[in-house]
Amino acid sequence: MDNLHPDIHEAIRRALAEDIGGGDATSDSILPANARMSGQIIAKQDGVIAGLDVAEAVCRAVDAGIAFRALAGEGERVEDRQIVAALDGPARSLLTAERTALNFLGRMSGIATLTRQFVEAVAGTRAVILDTRKTAPGLRMADKLAVLRGGGQNHRIGLYDMILIKDNHIDFAGSITEAVTRARAANSGLEIEVEARSLDHVREALALGVGRILLDNMSLETMREAVHITAGRAKLEASGNVSLETVRAIAETGVDYISSGALTHSAKVFDVSLDFVQTSR
């Protein structure tokens, strides 16, 4: 029994349904029903592998008779041309599962690889790399799992597990103070984070005893001042204009977290292929 989130299994089900439809017309017409094949999944670049267990779940969803053996660990660095998994089973089933399995594996490994680059860029600082909700619709749990396997951490999963008071909420309420007051009155028990667009906003949030403040698109100088003003009374999260080129300088301001949507919305798909060998007709 795997430990994948039920949402990932549901994403697999939907992905297979959209790809297979009424059946794999090509494989079913060309390959005998009793034919068997074996194959290897090969990394075609250097990077971080993530999602082999998801690829295996895809194969088993197509046919429980497919044998899948991972040859690399989740979050492990792999090299170009390295074999990361071995498969064996009914030929029709393997060819039917191939593209969907590789789609998940390629996307997740791409996210993990980019995340690892961000994590390494801030090594030696206190900053923790976080993802955002800028994930592919329907793939949030897979995307966020890939971030974890790349060495980052997850921000809130959705709108339901944390109160994040952003600029539109503040503008509607009239002030940070009023927005926080309303959020606390709801008695949800959820952590509250407030977006600050200026140092005055930071001071207002601190006066309210808010434990986490998001520094929105602030300059490095302003972030350093926010760290000084806060003096450890709240956790500070930097967001906006975060890239591999800028993340080190942001981390060196002393913030606790750096969140980047790029981890999931701009990661390049990791190149993997599945090479088959016919074993019986």
pLDDT digits (tens, 9 = 90+) for 190-220: 999 999 999 999 999 999 999 999 999 999 9
Residues 125 and 258 grouped into a single domain: yes
Q: How confident is the model at residue 57 (pLDDT cuts 50, 70, 90)?
A: very high
Tokens 């082999």 -> residue: 52
Domain extent at residue 91: 6-114+268-280
Residue 1 counted as domain residue: no
CA–CA separation, 73 and 77 (whole Å): 9
Q: How confident is the model at residue 10 (pLDDT cuts 50, 70, 90)?
A: very high
Q: Give pLDDT, residue 278.
A: 73
What single string gives the DSSP state of each residue in 229-269? HHTTSSEEEEESS--TTTHHHHHTTT-SEEE-THHHHSPPP
Residues 130 and 257 grouped into a single domain: yes
Question: Side-chain half-sphere of 188: how many Cα atoms within 13 Å?
Answer: 15
Q: How confident is the model at residue 51 (pLDDT cuts 50, 70, 90)?
A: very high
Residues 18 and 134 grouped into a single domain: no
Residue 81 counted as domain residue: yes
Residues 101 and 220 grouped into a single domain: no
Question: Catalytic site residues?
Answer: 99, 134, 166, 195, 216
Residues 45 and 63 grouped into a single domain: yes
Residues 148 and 204 grouped into a single domain: yes
pTM higher than the cut 0.85: yes
Helix axes 176-185, 199-207, angle to 10 degrees: 40
Residues 17 and 57 grouped into a single domain: yes
CA distances to 4, 154, 166, 196 from 171, rounded to whole Å, are 39, 27, 9, 12
CATH code of residue 276: 3.90.1170.20
pLDDT digits (tens, 9 = 90+) for 112-158: 999 999 999 999 999 999 999 999 999 999 999 999 999 999 999 99
Number of separate domains in the chain: 2
Residue 73 counted as domain residue: yes
Residues 143 and 249 grouped into a single domain: yes
* Cβ burial 215-234 (10 Å sphere, 16+ → b, else e): bbebeeebbeebbeebeeeb
CA–CA separation, 107 and 130 (whole Å): 18
Residue 101 has pLDDT above 70, yes or no: yes
Residue 27 counted as domain residue: yes
Residues 48 and 168 grouped into a single domain: no
CATH code of residue 191: 3.20.20.70
Residues 128 and 233 grouped into a single domain: yes
